[in-house]
Amino acid sequence: MDAVCEGKDYSFPAQEVLVLELWKKLDAFHEQLRRTEGGEEFIFYDGPPFATGLPHYGHLLAGTIKDVVTRHQSMRGRHVARRFGWDCHGLPVEFEIDKALGISNRQQILDLGIDKYNETCRSIVTKYVAEWEAVVTRSGRWIDFDNDYKTMDISFMESIWWVFAQLWEKDLVYKGFKVMPYSTGCKTPLSNFEAAMDYRTVPDPAVMVSFPIVGDPDNAALVAWTTTPWTLPSNLALCVNANFMYAKVKDKSSGVAYVVAESRLSQLPVKAKASAKKQPSSKGSNTVAVPDGLDKESYDLMAKIPGSSLVGLKYTPLFDFFMEFQDTAFRVIADNYVTDDSGTGVVHCAPAFGEDDHRVCLAAGIIEASRLVVAVDDDGCFTEKVSEFKGRHVKEADKDIISAVKASCYSSFQWFVKVEKIKDQLLECNKETYWVPDYVKEKRFHNWLEGARDWAISRSRFWGTPLPLWISQDGEEIVVMDSIEKLEKLSGVKVTDLHRHYVDDITIPSSRGPECGVLKRVEDVFDCWFESGSMPYAYIHYPFENHELFEKNFPGNFVAEGLDQTRGWFYTLMVLSTALFGKPAFKNLICNGLVLAEDGKKMSKSKKNYPAPTEVLDEYGADALRLYLINSPVVRAESLRFKRSGVFGVVKDVFLPWYNAYRFLVQNAKRLEVEGLAAFSPIDETALLKSSNVLDHWINSATESLVSFVHQEMDAYRLYTVQHLTHLWIFVPDV
């Protein structure tokens, strides 16, 4: 070790490797757990990542934050179990398998067999586990990989069934027909994150877009036409002409209802007829335009509505970038600039990108002149406000915006959780939590909760936790399974796994008698976000095990993830805990920002615009990387442009001065020992307090102040102040 530690060629990365070897030899992490066992519990929830790729700087950042907090709590004598988790189900896994097997449609999966498909999915879930463990361990984080949890474990899945059953008992579940994000490629509704994935583009930027009317008894949607798709993310209103007559029609093939100007009914797409001559379509689809009036073979006329009666109706926005305007925006307004010589008689309004748009939105109180938010910078690129397309030129993003809109307008029957019913409770539970930084909680998350809509938790897919619903053929009898024991008791079948290919064929006799047949399980599986949101219960197999541990320590003490999780994991944690217990799932939360490439763009493997984490760890060491990340705006939920030179700066400006000071001290100590002079001896704290040396008293006072400060700031989860001021105290004592 001396060869590594001494001399001007000292290597911080090499020393870290020696420390890791020592920790492994001593089993230091587990020894710490053993020594604190029986002490006060500090409950930490680790959000599960997908193991379908390698860890990136965002993972290392969040892991560092978690490690700093949990180590500190453990050093103060608290027992902090730190179990690593894996998100095993959902589209990311299925997407990998579909690519590997060349699967492009649902029927191919059925032909292959759900059993073979699911087992193939299972086989790749742990594909990168070894690499993850190696990188996370090299980063210096103490986390339990040996006692990890996986969302595909039967114990985890059983707890999810219990969570769903509790929601069912509380009348918080229903089956509904609703417009929602949908993947045409995967043939399934999508979660918010899944909907952001780019599945398909269309060639022409002229599009018709439907906006679902809130509360409409027919689930109708207003249809607008635009040749500027790039303005759709900034939509705040729809404008009609109060003097026009509008028609509500129903598509005979899909059952979906639309509202357009009566004089523009011919613009609605219709199915091509064999005898009809095909005309060019702005949507690039297999449709033809009917010259005059409504195509009665495609649509039924439901009602005629004066334009004035549409004014004031609320609609569901396409995107959620401007939810701070939701109290006044996303409603129908009227103005005579809407004509019937083009489009649909419904105009989409983005007040930052058009004189008429701005004028009518200002007049209608949609916006105030002082509150106008421009989502495009001087270079014509989307700003951070439009996070999904940030940094991209508006015209270059046209196709992806069309794809996102296309994915957001599909109606289907799904199972929903009644989030809107508990919205007031959600807002109250949010008040009980402490966030760093607080503005994320009070603005971004609060606004998201205020605009929360019922949550579609079912997915028409294969690799996931099956919905525990057994239904009779006539739909009159429904049994909800809350445990494996209940399923075995009612079916008489031994259950060893809960995935689809194990439970789909299990039937339940009807309680109404054999003449009523049997109950069969619905085919859907859970949205994987329902699974991760159930993590506080499922990772310890509650309520089947660890009942006392959970009851005494819920809500959990601490969670930490990135800003994007305000609409993901933080949200699903809050929804399920509020619905189940009327409490938030966590007490304290640190929300970090995004780590971007040096040019400010998203890190991309294909573009190779960032250095691999392993390269930086090997060159500069984990401590330098950790300190660089913690001492940056990213800990305050702001973005960080990652610079390799920044990590080197930590080595040059912090670690080398520290090492040289230490080396000077050690060299002089050895010289004194060689010369037979006084060597170092343990400090007598009593003698130090009695010392007449003013510097001794200053050192003692400053040390106690530092300890007090660190405890105070760590209790407030302000890691950036702890790191910064501790560093100043060590190297610049006179501050």
Backbone angles phi, psi at 138, to 5 degrees: -65, -30
Partners of 525 in the β-ladder: 459, 466
Pairing of strands 287-288, 270-271: antiparallel
Integer Cα distance of 317 and 386 in angstroms: 14
Beta carbons of 403 and 207 less than 8 angstroms apart:
no
Identify which of 33, 139, 132, 149 has the alpha carbon closest to the alpha carbon of residue 84: 149
Left, alpha or beta for 428 (phi > 0: left; psi -120 to 50: alpha)?
alpha
- What positions carry a catalytic annotation? 48, 87, 529, 565, 569, 602, 605
SS3 160: helix
Write the DSSP string, 11-25. -HHHHHHHHHHHHHH
Q: For 80-109, what is the HEC assignment?
A: CCCEEEEECCCHHHHHHHHHHHCCCCHHHH
SS3 189: strand
Q: How many CB atoms lie within 10 A of CB 516?
A: 15
Contacts of 14 (CB under 8 A, 6+ apart): 4
Per-residue CA distances from 521 to 173, 405, 458, 499, 507 (Å): 16, 33, 13, 12, 7
Integer Cα distance of 43 and 60 in angstroms: 21
Question: For residue 648, what is the enclosing H or E element?
Answer: helix 644-650
Beta carbons of 176 and 658 less than 8 angstroms apart:
no
Q: Is the dihedral of CA 665, 670, 675, 678 positive or negative?
A: positive
